Copies of this chain bind each other. A is one copy, B any other.
Amino acid sequence: MPTDSQRRRCANALRVLAMDAVQAANSGHPGMPMGMADIAEALWRHHLKHDPADPAWADRDRFVLSNGHGSMLLYALLHLSGYALPMRELQNFRQLGSLTPGHPEVGLTPGVETTTGPLGQGLTNAVGMALAEKLLAREFNRPGHEIVDHRTWVFLGDGCLMEGISHEACSLAGTWGLNKLVAFYDDNGISIDGNVKGWFGDDTPARFEAYGWTVLRDVDGHDFAALDAAIAQARQSDRPVLVCCRTRIGQGSPNRAGTADVHGAPLGDAEITLTRQALDWDAPPFEIPAEVRQAWDAVERGAAQHRQWQQRFDAYAQAHPELAAELQRRVRGGLPQATVAALAQAVREAEQRGAKVATRKASQDLLNAVAPTAPELLGGSADLTGSNLTDWKGSEPLTGRGVGNHVHYGVREFGMAAVMNGVALHGGYRPFGGTFLTFSDYSRNALRMAALMRLPVVHVFTHDSIGLGEDGPTHQPVEHAHSLRLIPGLDVWRPADATETAMAWQEALLRSDGPSCLLLSRQALPHAGDGADRTALITRGAYVLREARGAQVVLIATGSEVGLALAAAQRLADEGISARVVSAPCLEAFERQDEAYRRSVIPRGVPRLAMEAGRSGLWWKYVGEDGDVVALERFGESAPAPALYEHFGFTAQAVAQRAKRLIA
C-alpha cells in the first residue's frame, strides 16, 4: 500500500492542476477540486474500474461529477489516469475548441460520462445509469456469468442536494434499491452565497435514510483510511449509499480554504505561491513529477481489468452465444431489423385503417405493434400511465428486483427526464417516458440536456392543447409546442392522425443522435390522408396534404388543427376558393429539407394561414408578414373541449373567414 504522504502527493497533483488551470483561464472553480481531491484519490486510484484506453468499455464503472463546475478535478483525473487528454488541453482549459470546457461535456472529452453543470441532474443521470446496469444485469447475467457488474460513483455538493430533483432521483433510487450507486457528498458547508447554515438546514443523513439509502456519516474527506473504510463499506451495501464527507472547500489554500471566495474564482498568483508552499509542491504549472505521474497511471491496471472481463465475456459468449450477441447489439445501439420492419408495417396499417383516434391512443397502438420486437424499449410515465398510454400489451412494471420494462416514475417529471438521460448514456436501453405536455415545463432543462448531449430519448407529451378540455389553463399548454421547438436539436412532432403518429415514432426511434418529443392529443382526431401514400412525405416534416389547383391560399396546420384546416378548405372550396392544406408535424425535420422542397410546400407569393391551438410564435416565419395565424395568444379556460374550440375561434367557419380576409 502507498503511504499516506504518497497518496497526499497524488491528491495534491489534482489540487495544483486545478488551481493552475483556473488561473491560466482566469476563470473557473478551484474550490471543489481542491476540496474533493483526497476523495478522488481514494476512489480513482484504488476502486474505480475503468480502462483509460477504452472509455467505451461496456462494463466500466461510471463516474459522474454532479457538481460539474469542479470540472478541472475530472480533467486532472482523466489526464493523470492516462486518458487521451494531453496536458495541452488542461492548459487550454475553457478556451474555444479545447477538450476542457467550463463544465464537463460527454462526447467531447474521453472519459466524461455525462454533461453536468445544471445542479442535481448529474446525480439523477447516475440514478438512470445505475438503473440501466441493474436491469441489464438482470436481463443478461447468467449463473456463473456476471458479465454486467459495474458501479456508478457520484460526486456531489450542497447545491445538488438543495435542488428538488435530488429528492425525486434519490427517492427513486431508494425505491428501486440501486445498491451499486455510491454518492460522495462534499459536505464543506459552503455554497456560493457563503456558509449554508442560513439556507440549508436539512439533516441530510436522516433525509437519505428516509429514502432507504445506506448513509455513512461523518467521514473525514481528507483521511485516506477513513475513505477506504467507507468505500469498502459502501461496496457491501444492499441499498444506494451516501458517503457524507466532511471536507474543506479549497483545501490546501492557506487563506482561502473554507470560504466561498475559493468556489468560483482563480486564487491569484500570490495565493497560488502560498498554496504551493503549503502543499510542498515545487513543480511548475502543468508539470507533474515523474513518480506522481507513475502513481496515477491507470493504463495497465485498466487494461488488465478489461482483459479479465473480456475473458469472462468470451466464456459467456460460448455458453450463451445468442445472449452475448444480443448484449453486444444492445450496447452498440441501433434497432433490431424486426423493429424497423414493424415500424414500417405499423405505419402502413395505420394509414390503411384510417381510424379516427386520439393520437395518444394511436401511439399506444404503435407500441403494441412494435415494442414486442424491441426489448431495449424502456417505457414509463410520471404517474399518468393510463392517460399517456405509454404502456403496452406485454409491458411489465419495473420492480425493485430489476425486472420490467415500464417505469412508474411517480409524479416526478424532471427526475424522469434526467433518469432517462442517464439510461440512454449508460446504453442497453432506449428510454421513453410520458407526462402531460404542460408539465414539460417541469422537466425542461433535462430535455435541453438531452438535446445538448444528443441522446436518443423519446418524450411522449399527451394532452397537448386546449383540446384536453375541463382541466383548465394550468393543464392546457399554449406556449409549449413553440418553446420545445426552440431547444436546438430537439425534434418536436405534433402528429395529425394515427399515420403521422406512427411515422413520428418511427423517426424518433430511428434517430440515434438526439431526442424527440411527441405532442399527442387527448381527443380523437380524424384520419387526415386521402389514400395517397404520405409516408415518405411525413418524414420531411411538412408536406402538401391536400393539393388544390391554383391554390389561392395555403392553410398550414399541425396535430389536432389539421382536421380543422381540411374542414376549412372544404368550406372554402364550397365557396369556390381553392386552398392547399399543408400538414407540418415536425418543423425541425422540415428545416432540414432543401430550400426547393420547402418552397414547394410553403410557397412565397401566395397568402398563407397557419393554425395551431397555441401561440402564434414561430409561425410567422412560414406565413410571412402578409400572412396570418389562427392562434391562442392567451391562457385557456376550463370547459369541454368543443366549447373551447368554438370559444377561441378554432372552427372551420372562423378559419375560412380568416383565410378569405387574406385573399381579399
User: Which residues of A are interface residues toward B (Cβ below 8 A)?
Assistant: 25, 27-28, 68-69, 94-98, 101-103, 105, 115-120, 158-160, 162-168, 171-172, 174-175, 191-194, 196, 198-204, 206-207, 209-212, 381, 383-387, 397-399, 408-412, 414-415, 438-439, 441-442, 444-445, 448-449, 451-452, 469-475, 478-479, 482-483, 486-489, 604, 615-618, 620-621, 624-625, 633-635, 637-640, 643-644, 647
Contacts and interface: CB of A to CB of B under 8 A. Distances in A.
A109 to B, nearest CB: 11
Interface centre among A159, A164, A209 (most CB of B within 10 A): A164
Contacts of A635: 451-452, 488-489
A198 B486 contact: no
B102 A638 contact: yes
Contact of A201 (B95, B166, B212, B414): B212
A263 to B, nearest CB: 10
A542 to B, nearest CB: 16
Given A164-B167, A167-B164, A210 B202 contact: yes
A391 B168 CA distance: 31
A399 B474 contact: no
Contacts of A409: 199
Given A200-B175, A385-B193, A411-B191, A488 B624 contact: no
A422 B158 CA distance: 25
Contacts of A95: 638-640, 643
Interface centre among A385, A452, A479, A647 (most CB of B within 10 A): A479
Contacts of A191: 383, 410-411
Contacts of A163: 164, 168, 411-412, 442
B211 A94 contact: no
19 contacts: A94-B472, A96-B647, A102-B470, A102-B638, A103-B475, A119-B411, A171-B201, A175-B201, A191-B383, A192-B385, A192-B387, A193-B381, A194-B408, A203-B209, A204-B210, A441-B448, A449-B474, A489-B634, A620-B620
Nearest to A204: B210
A116 B475 CA distance: 10
Contacts of A383: 159, 162, 191-193, 199
Contacts of A384: 192-193
A470 B94 contact: yes
Nearest to A644: B96
A171 B202 contact: yes
Contacts of A408: 193-194, 198-199
A513 to B, nearest CB: 14
A21 to B, nearest CB: 11
Given A206-B209, A415-B164, A620-B621, A488 B633 contact: yes
B200 A171 contact: yes
Contacts of A604: 625
A118 B438 CA distance: 9
A117 B477 CA distance: 13
A558 B287 CA distance: 45
Contacts of A194: 408
B105 A472 contact: yes
B411 A158 contact: yes
Interface centre among A200, A210, A441 (most CB of B within 10 A): A441
B25 A470 contact: yes
Given A95-B639, A164-B414, A621-B620, A175 B199 contact: yes
Contacts of A166: 164, 167
A204 to B, nearest CB: 7
A21 B251 CA distance: 63
A68 B635 CA distance: 18
Nearest to A481: B486
A643 B95 CA distance: 9
A615 B587 CA distance: 14
B103 A471 contact: yes
A188 to B, nearest CB: 14
Contacts of A172: 199
Nearest 5 A-B pairs (CB), nearest first?
Answer: A164-B164, A101-B638, A167-B167, A117-B474, A96-B639
Contacts of A482: 482-483, 486, 617
A291 B210 CA distance: 46
Nearest to A487: B479
A471 B162 contact: no
B386 A192 contact: yes
B211 A202 contact: yes
A448 B198 CA distance: 29
Contacts of A203: 209-212
A646 to B, nearest CB: 9
Given A172-B199, A175-B201, A196-B410, 16 more contacts: A94-B640, A96-B639, A97-B637, A101-B473, A163-B412, A164-B167, A175-B199, A193-B384, A199-B409, A199-B410, A482-B482, A489-B635, A604-B625, A616-B621, A617-B617, A620-B620
A103 B414 CA distance: 22
Interface centre among A160, A386, A415 (most CB of B within 10 A): A386
A204 B410 CA distance: 15
A407 to B, nearest CB: 8
Contacts of A200: 171, 175, 410
A486 B479 contact: yes
Contacts of A96: 637-640, 643-644, 647
Given A163-B164, A411-B119, A486 B488 contact: no
Nearest to A637: B96
Given A94-B470, A410-B196, A625-B625, A488 B478 contact: yes
Contacts of A471: 69, 102-103, 117
A387 B635 CA distance: 33
Contacts of A616: 621
A30 to B, nearest CB: 14
Interface centre among A166, A172, A204, A635 (most CB of B within 10 A): A635
